[in-house]
């Protein structure tokens, strides 16, 4: 990434910023962001601006119909002290798919790269260098036109926000199988990174937290038998020494970290399998000892070991190994 020109007022804001000692994931917002608008069929060049509330008409398509999409990615501090992005090309392709699905203009790859580079370089001094720490980046796209007719906007805002952060989870997590609700529908937007998918998971996730779990494990929307993903991460099981993860179904999000783990497995002595995974078969594998470990993976958490998988009725299955294979893959990701 290369240096960019920074407006004097933005430079003053950066100079006055102090990184706090504690940076729990997603809570500390960097003092600047990147902003560009799409109107009359054209994207503006975009610029770095102070992080602040943005004016959004209450009748905008973003608020009324959920015409918005976002991404999650990271810049890590390299050994040379400069920020390095992790596989931004994959995030751009997924962002483009999400935009098309919600009838929004695709942010050009060049503008996407400019936004990430500009923001990361400007905030280079605030990319934390601890193991697993990063500058989390949140590209966001949403419709601006005010209207109650169900149709797409013609004006859009593209923002990239930044947040210096620790990893999402520091300890092994407990997950609850969600048997009643569904986060996505067949033919819906489950494979895109849009806000509605996450809003649809909030009620079930709050319920699972009230029962002593950390995240819901979602099942397929048709028969409720096959594993899809967690509320904010993909799912991986270690079965007979190989890693197994649910195959893309059209209703689960194909994570960048998930893809990275499968590629790392391909170049190691570990079998990596993307396939249809029955929840009841998995529980049987845990009981028989064929499944030795479970973990979750995603941009925020990187890799998070799962200590317990359970049901709402109180039944629980503890894993014989917690963190063995997941630690190996987490280290491999962080060493890239």
Q: For 273-295, what is each residue's pLDDT tens digit?
A: 999 999 999 999 999 999 999 99
8 Å CB contact between 58 and 218: no
Kindly indicate the confidence band of residue 5, based on its pLDDT and cuts at 50, 70 and 90.
confident
Kindly indicate the confidence band of residue 63, based on its pLDDT and cuts at 50, 70 and 90.
very high
Sheet strands (E) in 57-192 = 68-70, 73-77, 83-85, 134-143, 156-165, 173-177
For residue 308 the two structure tokens come to 């317990």
> Does residue 1 have a pLDDT over 70?
no
> Does residue 17 have a pLDDT over 90?
yes
Q: For 78-89, what is each residue's pLDDT tens digit?
A: 999 999 999 999
Domain ranges, ordered by start, for the chain: 8-165, 173-334
140-153 mean pLDDT:
98
pLDDT at 167: 86
**What SS3 state is found at 64?**
helix
Superfamily of the domain at 173-334: D-amino Acid Aminotransferase, subunit A, domain 2 (3.20.10.10)
> Does residue 191 have a pLDDT over 80?
yes
pLDDT at 170: 82
Kindly indicate the confidence band of residue 323, based on its pLDDT and cuts at 50, 70 and 90.
confident
In 3D space, the residue among 260, 188, 171, 182 whose CA is nearest the CA of residue 224 turns out to be: 182
Q: For 209-246, what is each residue's pLDDT tens digit?
A: 999 999 999 999 999 999 999 999 999 999 999 999 99
Q: For 101-138, what is each residue's pLDDT tens digit?
A: 999 999 999 999 999 999 999 999 999 999 999 999 99
pLDDT at 139: 99
pLDDT at 207: 97
In 3D space, the residue among 133, 230, 166, 150 whose CA is nearest the CA of residue 26 turns out to be: 166
244-256 mean pLDDT:
96
The CA-atom distances, in angstroms, between 68 and each of 7, 54, 155, 195, 239 are 29, 15, 12, 7, 38
Q: What is the pTM of this model?
A: 0.95
H or E stretch at 50: strand 47-50
The residue behind tokens 């003053």 is 12
3.30.470.10, 3.30.530.20, 1.10.10.10, 3.40.50.300: CATH of 8-165: 3.30.470.10
H or E stretch at 100: helix 88-101
Beta strand 42-43 pairing with 272-275:
unpaired
Kindly indicate the confidence band of residue 261, based on its pLDDT and cuts at 50, 70 and 90.
very high
Q: What is the mean pLDDT of the chain?
A: 96
Beta bridge mates, 173: 306
For residue 281 the two structure tokens come to 């078969």
């Amino acid at each position: 990434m290369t240096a960019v020109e920074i407006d004097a007022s933005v430079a003053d804001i950066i100079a006055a910023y102090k990184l706090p000692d504690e940076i729990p994931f997603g809570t500390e917002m960097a003092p600047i962001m990147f902003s560009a608008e799409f109107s009359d069929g054209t994207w503006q060049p975009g610029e770095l601006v102070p992080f602040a509330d943005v004016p959004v008409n209450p009748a905008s398509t973003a608020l009324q119909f959920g015409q918005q999409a976002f991404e999650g990615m990271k810049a890590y501090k390299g050994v040379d002290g400069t920020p390095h992005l992790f596989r931004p090309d994959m995030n751009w392709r997924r962002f483009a798919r999400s935009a098309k699905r919600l009838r929004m203009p695709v942010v050009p790859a060049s503008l996407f790269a400019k936004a990430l580079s500009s923001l990361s370089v400007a905030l280079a001094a605030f990319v934390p260098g601890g193991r697993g720490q990063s500058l989390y980046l949140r590209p966001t796209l949403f419709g601006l036109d005010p209207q109650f007719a169900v149709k797409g906007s013609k004006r859009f805002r593209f923002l990239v926000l930044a947040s210096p952060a620790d990893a999402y989870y520091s300890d092994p997590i407990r997950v609850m199988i969600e048997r009643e609700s569904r986060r996505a529908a067949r033919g819906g937007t489950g494979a895109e990174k849009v806000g509605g998918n996450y809003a649809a998971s909030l009620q079930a996730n709050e319920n699972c937290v009230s029962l002593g779990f950390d995240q819901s494990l979602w099942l397929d929307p048709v028969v409720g038998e096959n594993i899809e993903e967690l509320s904010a991460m993909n799912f991986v099981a270690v079965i007979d020494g190989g890693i197994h993860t649910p195959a893309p179904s059209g209703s689960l999000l194909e994570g960048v970290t998930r893809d990275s783990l499968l590629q790392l497995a391909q170049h190691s002595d570990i079998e990596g399998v993307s396939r249809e995974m029955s929840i009841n078969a998995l529980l049987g594998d845990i009981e028989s000892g064929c499944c030795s470990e479970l973990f979750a993976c995603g941009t925020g958490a990187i890799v998070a070991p799962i200590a317990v998988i359970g049901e709402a009725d109180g039944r629980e299955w503890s894993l014989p190994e917690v963190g063995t294979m997941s630690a190996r893959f987490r280290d491999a990701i962080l060493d890239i």
